[in-house]
Amino acid sequence: VPESIPQDESRPVRVAIVGVGDVGSTFAYALLLSGLAAEIVLIDANRAKAEGEAMDLNHTVPFTHPTRIWAGDYTDCAGAAITVLTAGAKQKPGQSRLDCLQANARIWREIVPQIARHNPRGILLVATNPVDVLTYAALKLSGLPAARVLGSGTILDTARFRFLLSQHFGVDARSVHAYIIGEHGDSEVPAWSLANIAGMHLPDYCRAQGLPYEPEQMQKIFESTRDAAYHIIERKGATYYAVAAGLLRITQSILRHQNTVLSVSSLIEDYCGISDLCFSLPTVVDRGGIQRVLRLELDKTETAKLRHSAAVLRETIAALDLS
């Protein structure tokens, strides 16, 4: 059992959600349906929105699981096993995730210290974009140990990648093992050299099954993965179901101490010459948060791309004053 146990065994499992817009409210709904939390507190600068969401979710309880749900404030983060941060400005059509930075960094300076003060033993899980930079900012502004500050990172990109590969190869997405690493954003990197179906790398899989392996098709699949948010936002204005499911998967691995390997964002130290940045690598997530960031055997091109992604993030962080 890790040293930092986020929840007190004797009290109901509480999850706090800060920001109950599209992402936060969808996650709250998924969490309620999952039955993983006994208490869900909703916090939003728009108090009426948090109250409305709490009412609607409470009316869901008779169909689901006994759960206490209310609109609260930062004092209610006390004792939460996990505080999920989804507050802030979202991407508008044509905007990149990094474009949302300054507005969301201002919000972070206001809310993160309050959460850490009321809940020094819990885990912070960041979804707001740019998620890697804001995970790093949450780490610095909270003063919490690195193991207990993580971001949804490329969990969503990895899901999109596995889905598209599964469509191409005609197998269940759960049978496709492939990761997107680095920034959750334009510089993200597909770890092709590690992608496999039934333990076979994709070119080997194709050879063994008598299928063509088409590098251009693979590149298109990556581009559709990387650009998915732009295509969805153009059509429906926001993305929220898949990220909410990803947040739920992370929450489940923490609350049930599952040691699941997930491509979440966390503090990276001494990796391919990169240190003191948050981005995604396959990571073992347990009850203490980040148990271990896995060391990958990437090829030279992937390593160079990962270093480039890290450089993009470093430049962005340098523009922030986190003192």
For the bound state, the minimum distance from the C-beta of residue 229 to ligand NAD, rounded and expressed in Å, comes to 7
The answer to the question of residue 250 lying near ligand NAD (CB under 6 A) is no
DSSP string, 93-148: TT--GGGGHHHHHHHHHHHHHHHHHH-TTSEEEE-SSSHHHHHHHHHHHH---GGG
The answer to the question of residue 251 lying near ligand NAD (CB under 6 A) is no
Residue with the shortest CB distance to ligand NAD: 21
For the bound state, the minimum distance from the C-beta of residue 125 to ligand NAD, rounded and expressed in Å, comes to 10
Contacts of 52-56 with CB under 8 Å at 24 or more apart are: 53/20, 53/25, 53/28
Q: Which is nearer to ligand NAD, 139 or 156 (CB)?
A: 156
Closest CA to 233 of 95, 59, 28, 108: 95
The answer to the question of residue 91 lying near ligand NAD (CB under 6 A) is yes
| Rounded CA separation 101/108 (Å) | 10
Site for ligand NAD in 174-193 (CB under 6 A): 184
**Which candidate in 65, 184, 201, 231 is catalytic?**
184
Whether 184 is catalytic: yes
For the bound state, the minimum distance from the C-beta of residue 114 to ligand NAD, rounded and expressed in Å, comes to 10
| Rounded CA separation 271/254 (Å) | 24
Alpha-carbon distance values, 85 to 57, 167, 274 (Å):
19, 32, 26
The answer to the question of residue 156 lying near ligand NAD (CB under 6 A) is yes
Q: Kindly give the pairing relationship between strand 180-181 and strand 176-177.
A: unpaired
Given 13, 15, 17, 18, the residue binding ligand NAD (CB under 6 A): 18
Quote the strand ranges of 213-286, DSSP E: 260-268, 277-286
Give the count of beta carbons closer than 10 Å to the beta carbon of residue 149: 28
Q: Which is nearer to ligand NAD, 38 or 233 (CB)?
A: 233
Are 100 and 184 contacting, i.e. CB atoms less than 8 angstroms apart?
no
First-to-last alpha carbon distance for the chain, in angstroms, is 33
Q: Which is nearer to ligand NAD, 7 or 26 (CB)?
A: 26
Stretch that binds ligand NAD, among 14-22, 60-68, 252-260, 291-299 (CB under 6 A): 14-22
Given 87, 150, 178, 248, the residue binding ligand NAD (CB under 6 A): 87
Are 28 and 20 contacting, i.e. CB atoms less than 8 angstroms apart?
yes
The answer to the question of residue 72 lying near ligand NAD (CB under 6 A) is no
> x/- contact string, 256-295, with ligand NAD (CB under 6 A)?
----------------------------------------
Given 13, 15, 17, 23, the residue binding ligand NAD (CB under 6 A): 23
By CB under 6 A, the count of residues binding ligand NAD is: 31
Closest CA to 26 of 84, 106, 67: 84
> x/- contact string, 98-137, with ligand NAD (CB under 6 A)?
--x------x--xx---------------xxx-x------
Site for ligand NAD in 205-234 (CB under 6 A): none
Supply the angle between the helices 101-118 and 131-142 in degrees, to the nearest 10: 40
Residues annotated as catalytic (active site), given as ranges: 184
**Binding footprint of ligand NAD on the chain (CB under 6 A):** 18-24, 44-46, 49, 86-88, 90-91, 100, 107, 110-111, 127-129, 131, 152, 156, 184, 238-240, 243
